[in-house]
Each structure stands twice: as C-alpha cells, then as structure tokens.
Amino acid sequence: MALMLIDAANLYFRAFYAIPDSVTAPDGRPVNAIRGFLDMSASLIDRRRPSRWVACLDLDWRPAFRVELVPTYKAHRVAKDGSEEIPDRLSPQVPLLLAILTAFGLACSGAEGFEADDVMATLAHRDHEPVEIVSGDRDMLAMASDRITVLYTGKGIAKLEEMGPAQVQAKYGIPAGNYADFAVLRGDPSDGLPGVAGIGEKTAAALVSRFGRIEDILAAAADGDAGFPAGAAGKVRAAREYLAVAPAAVRGRLDVPLDEIDDSLPETPRDPDRLAELGESLGVTSSVQRMQKAISKALA
C-alpha cells in the first residue's frame, strides 16, 4: 500500500517551464503546465507503482510563521502586490488542473497557512506504510528514513534521485534527519535563508556530523568546545539570534490540520463525463488517457 506524495506546485511549475507555452487548447488557452503535469505524474505512477497518491498543495506559499522567524524567507519571490510571482500564462491553468484531478478521483490535500512541504511531512509522518515524496525542495530530505524515500526532482523527472538515509549521508555527509540544521548553517538562496557568514557546506556538514542539531551546536559554541573547526565557533556565536529561530522555519511541520481524504488510486474515474469534457475542451485527452493507463497498470 505504498503512498506517493506529490509537491503539486513543484511539478506544475516544472511542467510549465519544460513545455513551450505555445501548447494550447483548441480555444487558444495555454495548457502546457496541465499537459506536463499529467504526463509527468503518469510517468511517476507507471515507474513507481504506488497504490495511493496525493497531490499536496501550497495554500500558503510563504506562511506568516516562517516570515516572522526569518524575514528574508522567500522574499525574493514576492511580487509587487505581495503575492507570489507566477507567470500570467500559468496561473489560469492551476484550477483547471485541479478540476481534472478531482474528476479522476485523485486526492488533493492542503491547509490554509501551510506549504506543500508541511502537508507532505505531516502525511508521511502519520502514515505507517512505505512513502515516496516527490519534491524539488531539498529540505524534504530531512524526512528520509527506512520507511520514507524522497524522489528529488532537481534534475528532472527522467533523472529522479532516489534519496534515502544512506544516499543523504553519502551526498552531504550528514544524517538525513539533520538536513534542516545543515541548511540553516550553510544557507539556501532559493528559500532566502542567509546562513551563517563564513560557514560553507563543508564546515556546516562537519558541525552537524559532530554535534547534531542547531541547538546542540549553539551550546557547544557557547562552551568553547574544542571540536569546532578553527574560527567556526565565533561565527556561530555571532549568528546565534538567527540560529535560535531559523530551524523552526526550515523544518517541515508534522502537525498540519488536514481533512480526511481517500488517497487510494481510483480504479475508474470518479466523474468520467467531466473528465472527458475537460480533456476534450483543453486538448489534453491523450495525457488524460496516459494517466488512466498508468493508474490501471499500478493497480493491476
């Protein structure tokens, strides 16, 4: 009963930029993100054969609780009106895509005030079966465990990186559960995390490997632990105000209040007439059929 959790926004943004926006519906509306999302999802389901599947939604892409902790959090992606910068030809496609998923009977899950990362972390944490998280956000690597695998999409769907605890350790030199501590120290421009001045990836990995969580690194720096690389303790102490709050902004929440959903792959579409109508009107019938074929194979 393996569960696949999809970062929906990551996938439709990736689809939008991978497929020319000249791909349109018969009436001229852009459908490149819709077509790409369906084709990528079909490929994932065909290759990984989950029995359960959830599209996890960003109902708040920049939650207030994270901005309060780290004011620079995703600040570089804020539009002039305060919303997220989304291409004009992408935003109208999202509700249509969700309508297709609903007609299929595929589960979607989100919560006001939380990102898709939090939704995925909560669903994965509370499950008891094997879970695969499909995401392009490296922060999700912190969820990797004997039961949870992260399928990292940084190099594209065709070149998924299958990341469990051993792979995270091999690539970054840290336990997977400490990835957030590592990211806080090193910084992450894609999320607007400044990191600690003078602490690069190598030093961050060394500190996490020796001391563990940020709280323990701060305590060791305050005590003058001899295990610090030369000069690193002072840099950590100088950044203690940032380090005291940043981990809570980076770590995925495990307590998101989510509505109950049926996450099983549907044997047949919930609303076949609506699905056929959407497929035809949007010119994505072949992608809808590809998705249905992949689901049927996964359930066979």
Residue 202 shares a structural domain with residue 281: no
Range with the lowest mean pLDDT among 132-146, 190-204, 224-238? Answer: 224-238
Q: What is the pLDDT of residues 11-61, one digit of tens each?
A: 999 999 999 989 999 999 999 999 999 999 999 999 999 999 999 999 999
- pLDDT for 230: 79
Which of 219, 234, 250 lies at the terminal end of a domain, its last residue? 250
- pLDDT for 228: 85
Which residues, including other chains, have CB under 8 Å from residue 11's CB and lie 6 or more apart?
Answer: 37, 40, 41, 134, 153
Which residues, including other chains, have CB under 8 Å from residue 166's CB and lie 6 or more apart?
Answer: none
Q: With cut-offs at 50, 70 and 90, classify the pLDDT of residue 271.
A: very high
Residue 114 shares a structural domain with residue 101: yes
- pLDDT for 224: 80
Residue 142 shares a structural domain with residue 105: yes
Residue 237 shares a structural domain with residue 133: no
- pLDDT for 226: 76
Residue 107 shares a structural domain with residue 157: yes
Which of 250, 270, 285 lies at the terminal end of a domain, its last residue? 250
Residue 88 shares a structural domain with residue 235: no
Q: Average pLDDT, stretch 163-174? A: 97
Residue 19 shares a structural domain with residue 59: yes
Residue 157 shares a structural domain with residue 287: yes
Where do the DSSP E strands lie in 67-212?
107-109, 131-135, 148-152, 161-163
Which of 231, 250, 269 lies at the terminal end of a domain, its last residue? 250
Overall domain count for the chain: 2
pLDDT higher than 80, residue 225:
no
Domain at 73, CATH number = 3.40.50.1010
Domain interval for residue 214: 176-250
How many Å from the N-terminal Cα to the C-terminal Cα in the chain?
13
Residue 166 shares a structural domain with residue 202: no
Nearest residue to 72 via CA among 61, 62, 80: 62
Residue 53 shares a structural domain with residue 95: yes
Q: How far is residue 228's CA from residue 223's CA, in Å, rounded to a whole number? A: 11
Domain at 229, CATH number = 1.10.150.20
pLDDT higher than 80, residue 9:
yes
Residue 16 shares a structural domain with residue 67: yes
Residue 65 shares a structural domain with residue 187: no
